[in-house]
């Protein structure tokens, strides 16, 4: 069930980035190239995660989860309808990445085999990286400095906040973790 729930979260993340990329300020003509590339690559990484979780589920004799997470999908749908600017998209993505990372960290302690623990840990680290970059992007957007979202960055002009806003906790919390049964295939 934990694997199916994880796959559902990944499917929702893919849906979210796919939706985001349809907005001109994320994936269109007015988009920042770095943000567009990040959204595209991140979506692809979530596809890989979903495939991995579903493969692990079927290896254990379970069914694949091809739907989006039942609890958060309506929330994303509602939020998507209200998106007006890049900050709205970034905020939504941060929340989803955070939920996924916390869920997988908690699952590391719940699943029964070394391989599954390693899989959840492996993916949790990547979702956390997505979140770290999104938090930095959010800070730059809120600071009115979208021009500083660039690779390579103009280091001399990056504000101090860009250096540490991406990792607010010394230990990743798990309070937002989704229950293992949340996305189970019935």
Partner 1 sequence: MSRTPHRELSQMAVGERELDSMTCELDEMHRQTFPGVHKMLGEFGANLAQTGRRSTGRRRFLTGMGGAVVLGGVAACTSSKSKRGASIPAPISGSSGGKYVGDLKVVALAAALENLAVTVYQGGLVKAAKGQLGTVPPALASFITTAMGQHRDHATAWNGVLTKAGKSAISGAPLTITQDHIALLNAARSVPDLARLALALENAAAETYTFAAGTVTDAGAIMTAATIQPVETMHAAILSFVLGQYPVPVSFIGTSNAVAPSALTA
Q: Is 103 helix (H, G, I), strand (E, B) or coil?
A: helix
User: Residue 143 and residue 93: Cα distance in Å, rounded?
Assistant: 19
User: Residue 125 and residue 127: Cα distance in Å, rounded?
Assistant: 6
Size of the site for partner 1 (CB under 8 A): 65
By CB under 8 A, residue 52 contacts partner 1: yes
By CB under 8 A, residue 152 contacts partner 1: yes
By CB under 8 A, residue 105 contacts partner 1: yes
The minimum distance between CB 60 and partner 1, in angstroms, equals: 16
By CB under 8 A, residue 185 contacts partner 1: no
Cα dihedral across residues 86, 99, 97, 173: positive or negative? positive
CA neighbor of 8 nearest in space, from 49, 95, 68, 53: 68
Q: Which stretch, 20-28, 65-73, 112-120, 178-186, contacts partner 1 (CB under 8 A)?
A: 112-120
Of the two residues 97 and 183, which places its CB atom closer to partner 1 in the complex?
Answer: 97
């Amino acid at each position: 069930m934990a694997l199916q729930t994880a796959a559902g979260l990944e499917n929702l993340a893919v849906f979210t980035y796919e939706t985001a990329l349809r907005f001109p300020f994320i994936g269109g003509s007015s988009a920042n190239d770095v943000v567009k590339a990040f959204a595209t690559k991140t979506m692809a990484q979530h596809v890989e995660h979903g495939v991995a979780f579903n493969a692990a589920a079927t290896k254990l004799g379970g069914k694949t989860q091809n739907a989006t997470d039942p609890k958060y999908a309506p929330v994303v749908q509602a939020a998507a309808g209200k998106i007006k600017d890049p900050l709205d998209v970034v905020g939504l993505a941060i929340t989803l990445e955070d939920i996924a990372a916390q869920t997988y960290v908690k699952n590391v302690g719940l699943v029964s085999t070394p391989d599954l623990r390693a899989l959840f840990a492996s993916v949790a680290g990547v979702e956390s990286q997505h979140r770290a970059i999104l938090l930095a992007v959010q800070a730059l957007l809120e600071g009115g400095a979208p021009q500083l979202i660039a690779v390579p960055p103009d280091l001399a002009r990056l504000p101090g906040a860009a250096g540490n806003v991406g990792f607010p906790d010394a230990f990743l919390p798990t309070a937002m973790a989704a229950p293992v049964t949340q996305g189970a295939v019935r």
